[in-house]
Structure 1
Amino acid sequence: MTTDTSGTCPSVRYTVGAVRAGYQMRLLSRPAPPQFPTTVCELVVPLGARAAVLAQSTVAAAVVHPANRELPLPNWTATTRPRTIGVIGDTGCRVTTPGPDQDCANHQTGWPFPRIAGSAAAVTHPDLAIHVGDYLYRDDPAQATDAAANPGCTAAGDRFSWGCVVADFFRPAESLLAVAPVVLTRGNHEDCRTPPATGGAGAAWFRYLADDLRSNGSCSLYPDPVEIRAGVLHLLSVDSSYADPADSGSITQQAIYTRQFEAVNQAAGQQPGHDYFLVTHKPLWMVRSAGPPPQTFTPVLDKAVGGTTLGRLADNIRMVLSGHAHLYQMIDFDTARPPQLTVGFSGGDPLEQGPNDAAVIGTPVGTPPQAVHHSLTQGGVFGYAVLNRNAGTWDLTSHDPTGALRGQTCTLSRNAAHKEFVCH
């Protein structure tokens, strides 16, 4: 994206094999001020390309981020997968009237997302980053303590503008975006209700962050699932931003999401020997309270999975990655059901404390009810998660805002019928 008003796109130079050449990016949308004073361009780059750099002579923008103009590309092949994956979620700085809820200018104790993104880049060195949703938290930008540093995000009317997308995501995430390709998932803070279906947070999502970028300001409640291939690892993204919007436990949308999960299972069935991760903002089996009865987020998604032809997620879906709850939690069942990883503690307030893990273990959750085998919750703290490739499986770790390991390393089992994390 560039804030120049020329409506022209720059070129990118990269190397494939022994050939280095320049390729002009394709225009997706022209400036639509005042909300979107930007030119948006894209370029499809073949797997195996390397050393991608924006051609300086073709750039019309006054300032380029990152300054070296180098663009991160996948380092895996069609037959390999990423070695290290950084996972973040729920990252924006919450600012409401009379505001602010967070001190956006204080990256130590107020809003640590810029520090978290920097640590994820410099300490973890991921090959791929996944954001599980919720970027835009500035409901009243005028109240933000860093408003002076964010022109274009200083008034209530700016809250879903390019300036606020920069303030809440692109600028604080810059160091991470500069080192790894990023998969972005839509959260409820980017749904179509805030405020209208056209021109609000949903429109900003579809203009700048979605898999299928748009230029007309439109917003869809239920886009089709998207499959993203990272070699032999497949990410299946389901848009749950509008699932049970009041978080009331309603299951009225079950049929809609059953169709989505049918498509997910069909996609996973195409490559039964490959790993699949389901990525969706609202969790399927996150436990908020052990009860009785247990309280979970988004029962409609769980019921929708139970309503599929299989009655469950496909066996080669190894893990579910979500956010929404402002904490870190890993839940597994030691069954064919994949573990639920919730990573919603990367910057947004208020943080949640979560349940007592000892009380969660053995609690029946989901459709059909299955007893929780392991529960590992970190509440009241900020951080991010990392998945490291380990032979034929994955190691899961949690990290504090400095990048330091917090807690144990948990290794995902290889048995598709008994998916569990063994922690050590």
Structure 2
Amino acid sequence: MKTSISLRPSVGPIRRAMPRSVTAGSLLIAGLLAYGCGGAESYEASAVDAGLKSAWVELGANNQAVARAITADAACPAMLVNGIRTPMTLRSAAGTIALRPTASAAADSKPSAFPVTSCEFRLPSTTTEAVIGSRNLPIPKSNPQRVVILADTGCRLKKADNAWQACTDGDAWPLASIAAAASAMKPDLVLHIGDYHYRENACPSDIAGCQGSPWGYGWDAWEADLFKPAAPLLAAAPWIMVRGNHEECARAGQGWFRFLDTQAYDSKRSCDDPANDDLGNYTDPYAVAIGSDTQVIVFDSAKAGKTALATTDLQFQKYQVQFQAVTQLAAKANVNSIFTNHHPVLAFAPIAGSTPAPGNLALQSVMQSVTPTAYYPAGVKTALHGHVHDFQAINFASNHPATFVSGNGGDNLDVNLPDPLPASAIPAPGTLIDKITHTSAFGFMVMDRQGNGSWAYKAYTRAGKLMTTCQQNGSKVNCDKTGYLLPN
């Protein structure tokens, strides 16, 4: 017998033949919602659950909330929105994509198999309840008080670097414990700053820690790297998704567009055909308001290289237009703009035994052409990044926004920055560091609202132990600890 939720008031709302995965509470909520809508159809929760692989809510431009679902079924499921049975629409159908050129040699690559259907529904701003199967989805709050921040969360399997992370070892790859600790803090919003997927190549037969891991850019690797271990956090709050370099077209871009990108799915921007990569590798920036006094500006730097760009370079011209759009987005009066992109602009990349490398030179070269010396427009008070696998909190004596790096969410950690920093270390020309707080321990960040557009930024270990608190004052940030943070 299937678990059924009736939409007819004259019929009991739930006929119980509950699988273990369906809680009485979730069915009761869904049933009560359905009971009051007066429709003539029934909502088969257990039938939806049987194929459902993942379900979550993410926020896009203009704060459009989108419910997403991944199912093994060929057809998209219906969901309950404010008690009304509502069909989800197809985003991308199941299929295996012909092998395209990737970041790896052809012998170390394979076609991307997606034996799942990706579905979506744009939630009205009036949504108070959204249910898929027996899962109650988190509803966006107009004034979020707590935001979890993480990045670089996948498990690295990369032949070119001879890097084989022990994906089956929770200590070596702690995303599951990070997701559990972060979800226990009851966030109102989750901000992921890129690099969700790292399982690019097959684990060698003589490496014990990753035996049997899925690899490549298809669904099985995406499920293992993100959707299974991060399930508690996907269920806890809506997400803002920022794209990382691991989601560029020659890597996991196909899954990015099928599952995470907030725009309407477009086959020309799907990364399936390398002839269209100049379309697929760039996305226009957009803003997500988190209350009336703060907004997050999302910038796609997936394809940013490591060297400064010539003004004649196509990428320079694309990014220049996009940074001009950032300037317009950040011009809102009395709003604290938080700029988010994957590659650090005014932060460091540690190098073992040497002076740290500066921020991303490609982005710096373009930003200087738009906002000379300041890099960012005046409305940007804070910058958040990943890519470098550590935690950094930087306050500038110069007129530059407070900068955080939160790239310690699961992938192999970088070496520690030297402590103290060499006097010659600067993240970009014209910058002057006042204080830096840093560590290369696994963990995540939390933003707690302080009012008037200000936030307290907190760094936690992977187990949820507080390492430092940084109080924001305009574009300045003052951490209660400086220098290297001991993770214990």
- SS of the residue 2:366 aligns to: helix
- Aligned match for 2:287, one of 215, 227, 241: 227
Cα displacement (A) at 1:364: 4.6
Q: In structure 2, how many angstroms separate the alpha carbons of the residues matched to 1:385 and 1:84?
A: 10
Percentage identity across aligned positions? 28
Kindly indicate whether the alpha-carbon contact (under 8 Å) linking 2:343 and 2:360 is maintained by their aligned counterparts in 1.
yes
Residue in 1 that maps onto 2:148 = 86
Deviations 1:1-56 (A, max 9, x none): 334342x22222233xxxx32322122121113611221111111235223211x3
Residue by residue, what CA displacement relative to the aligned partner does 1:120-153 show, whole Å, maximum 9, x if unpaired? 001x2111111111121112244584665x6xx2
Q: Assess if the C-alpha contact under 8 Å between 1:83 and 1:388 holds in 2.
A: yes
Deviations 1:171-217 (A, max 9, x none): 110000001101111111111233xxxxxx11111111112253634
Distance 1:213 1:162 in 2: 20
| Higher strand proportion | 2
Asked whether the 8 Å contact 2:193–2:242 carries over to 1, the reply is yes
1:72 corresponds to: 138
1:210 paired residue among 261, 271, 281: 261
The answer for the alignment partner of 1:11 in structure 2 is: 78
1:251 aligns with 309
Q: Over residues 233-276 of structure 1, what are the superposed CA-to-partner deviations in whole Å (9 max), with x where a residue is unaligned?
A: 322111111111xx3x333444432221110011122x221222
Equivalent position of 1:185 in the other structure: 242
Normalising by structure 2, we get a TM-score of 0.71
Which residue is equivalent to 1:340? 403
Give the drift of 1:365.
4.0
Q: Contact 2:156 / 2:412 at 8 angstroms: preserved in 1?
A: yes
Contact 2:80–2:86 (CA under 8 A) maintained in structure 1: yes
Q: Which runs of 4+ in 1 moved over 6 A?
A: 290-294
Question: Residue 128 of structure 2 corresponds to which residue in structure 1?
Answer: 50
Deviation digits for residues 59-91 of structure 1 (CA, Å, limit 9, x no counterpart): xxxxxxxxx41111112x2xxx31011111111
Q: 1:400 maps to what in 2?
A: 461
Are the counterparts in 2 of residues 363 and 371 from structure 1 also a CA contact under 8 Å? Answer: no
CA deviation profile, 1:304-349 (whole Å, cap 9, x unmatched): 2221157542222221111111100011214542111111101001
d(CA) in 2 for partners of 1:23, 1:347? 37
What CA distance in whole angstroms lies between the structure 2 residues aligned with 1:259 and 1:328?
A: 30
User: Residues 160 and 146 of structure 1: is their aligned pair in 2 closer, same or farther, counting only changes over 3 Å?
Assistant: same
Distance 1:364 1:297, change over 3 A: closer
Match of 1:110 among 151, 154, 172: 172
The secondary structure found in structure 2 opposite 1:90 is coil
Question: Counterparts of 1:47 and 1:356 in 2: how far apart (Å)?
Answer: 48
Contact 2:389–2:413 (CA<8 Å) still a contact in 1? Answer: yes
Other structure's SS at 2:287 match: strand
Unaligned runs of 5+ in 2: 1-68, 97-111, 272-276, 482-488
| CA displacement, residues 95-140 of structure 1 (integer Å, 9 cap, x when unaligned) | 2349762211111x21111110111001x21111111111211122
Structure 1 unmatched ranges of 5 or more: 57-67, 195-200
1:115 and 1:402 in contact (8 A); partners too: yes
Between the aligned partners of 1:293 and 1:117, the Cα distance in structure 2 is 33
Partner Cα distance (2:400, 2:115) in 1? 45
Match of 2:346 in 1: 285
TM alignment of 1:58-207, pairs within 5 A: 68-75=134-141, 77=142, 81-97=143-159, 101-107=164-170, 109-122=171-184, 124-143=185-204, 145=209, 148=212, 153=214, 158-194=215-251, 201-207=252-258
Q: Report if the CA contact (8 A) 1:28-1:215 is conserved.
A: no
Aligned counterpart in structure 2 of residue 410 of structure 1, from 456, 459, 470 = 470
Q: CA deviation at 1:166?
A: 0.5
More moved, 370-379 vs 291-300: 291-300
CA distance in 2, matches of 1:257, 1:357: 34
Question: Is the partner of 2:377 in helix, strand or coil?
Answer: coil
Q: Which moved more, 1:388-397 or 1:209-218?
A: 209-218
RMSD (CA atoms): 2.6
Which of residues 373, 386, 404 in structure 2 aligns to 1:323? 386
Stretch deviating more after TM superposition (227-236 or 344-353): 227-236
Distance verdict in 2 for CA 1:309–1:411, change over 3 Å: closer
Matched letter for residue 220 of structure 2? G
The whole-number CA distance in structure 1 between the counterparts of 2:426 and 2:72 is 55
User: 2:478, 2:125 → 1: CA distance?
Assistant: 32
> Aligned partners of 1:85 and 1:2: how far apart in 2?
25
State how far apart, in whole Å, the 2-side matches of 1:4 and 1:121 are. 26
CA distance in 1, matches of 2:258, 2:289: 22
CA distance in structure 2 between the aligned counterparts of 1:299 and 1:89, rounded to whole angstroms: 21
Which of the two has higher C-alpha Rg?
2
Q: Distance in 2 between matches of 1:48 and 1:341?
A: 34
The answer to whether the 8 Å contact 1:328/1:343 transfers is yes
Is contact 2:350–2:414 with CA below 8 Å preserved after alignment? no
TM-score (normalised: structure 1): 0.82
Asked if 1 retains the 8 angstrom alpha-carbon contact of 2:183 and 2:236, the reply is yes
Q: Counterparts of 1:261 and 1:397 in 2: how far apart (Å)?
A: 28
One-letter code aligned to 1:39: T
